Structure formats: structure tokens, C-alpha cells
Amino acid sequence: MKALEGPQYGPASGGKPDSLVLLLHGVGADGFDLIDLAPVWAEALPNALFIAPHAPFPFQGAPFGRQWFDIADRTPARMEAGLRNAAAILGDFTRAKLAELGLDGDRLALMGFSQGAMVALFAGLRGAVPPPACILAYSGALLGPDSFAAEVTACPPVLLVHGEADEVVPAMASRQAARLLLSQDVPCELLLRPDLAHGLDDAGLAAGTALLARSLGHVAGR
């Protein structure tokens, strides 16, 4: 099983981490692509440790960058098999990091962009990682919909953010994900951003701040 590593930030307070936020990048990028989000969200979570692990596999479509699973063959079966493997790798990393920090899963948040969002949703809802406090999925999709109802093991609040002008992963993917999540009683907020392509904007980041603050911002007795 491949070990993950990547840049980290925090806690901004300088104290001991009281929560862990994992930032999962998209295809062809690496952890440095998302770690700059950490100082923004650390304003609401000054005691959080943010880690942006590099995906475990080299991206075959370019001489640089990483990927969580191969997208050369986009048949549903191959995509889901790759996703399950990526979720297992992320699960090993997450459990080890939580144990190292002395934290439980309820002090964990998963955030992902594009392919990273697919991994965050799959791993966080189907038990590959300890049940997280929340999941933030930007420009992603909920893969493996036919097996979801039988495999869902956690129901954390989920934020889905998607640009209506996204030509890489169409916004319909998040619309479909929202319907499926709500059908299984997973709390879900869908934020569609007019004119936004395959990327992030201030409104989506603000919505992420709000969910992170609600889910991880208070620790009783600390």
C-alpha cells in the first residue's frame, strides 16, 4: 500500500491540533495546489492541522502531477475499482494520522476538488476513513451510485459546490449527487455558481468556511 505525504499548515494558533482537515487535489496537480486554502480556513479553525497529500500515482497525461486513480479507461467499473483503491490508501493514511494526533474521526474533515472530491465523497461516506465531521466536495461527482445505498456507513453533513459553466465535470454531477445523498438521509447542501468554470470562487470557499466552523469550530472541554 502506497504511503501518502504532502504539504501541511497549522495549527495557526501554534498549539496542539484539535482537528484534522485533509485537502485532496484533482488530476494532474499535487498537494501544493490546495494547501494555500489552509490559511483562509484557519481563520475559522485556528487549532486545525491542514494536510494536502499528494495523490499516490503519477498522472499519465503529463510529465508532472499526480492522480488518485487512472482515468485513461473511464468505464464505470474501472473508475470505481480505481476509486476503491484510492479510498483504501487514503484510509490508511487518515487512521494513522488521527492516531498520531490523538484525535477521533469526529475531528476530521475531508475536502476535495474534482477527482479529489470524488475520493472524499467515496471514502468519507462508505467507511474507508473514520466517519468524518463533514465533507466539502468541489466540482466533483458521487461515483458508484448503484452501490451507494448498500454501502453508505456515515452521514456527515456534505457541501457540494459546482460551477454551472464547468466543462470538465458538468454541474449535473453534483445535482445527481445531491439527490442521491438526500435520498439516503445524508445532510447535503448544494451550491451552484453561475458562470464559474472548473475551479473555486469566493462564495464556494465562504460556504466551506461556514461548514467547517459548524462542524469543527467548538471542542467541549478544550
What is the spatial distance between Cα 52 and Cα 50, in angstroms, rounded to a whole number?
Answer: 7
Q: Which one from 33, 70, 114, 215 is the annotated catalytic residue?
A: 114
- Is 102 in contact with 90 (CB distance < 8 Å)? no
Active-site choice (18, 30, 33, 166) = 166
User: In the numeric block, which cell numbers belong to residue 199?
Assistant: 475551479
Candidates 92, 106, 198, 201; catalytic one: 198
Burial 161-192 (b: 16+ CB within 10 A, else e): bbbeebeebbbebbeebbebbeeeebebebbb
- Say if residues 174 and 203 touch (Cβ distance below 8 Å): no
Helix H or strand E encompassing 216: helix 202-216
Is the CB of residue 171 less than 8 Å from the CB of residue 139?
no
Distance (Å, rounded) from C-alpha 205 to C-alpha 64?
Answer: 27
Measured between alpha carbons, how far is 40 from 164 in angstroms, rounded to an integer? Answer: 24
Q: Is 198 a catalytic residue?
A: yes
Q: Catalytic amino acids? A: 114, 166, 198
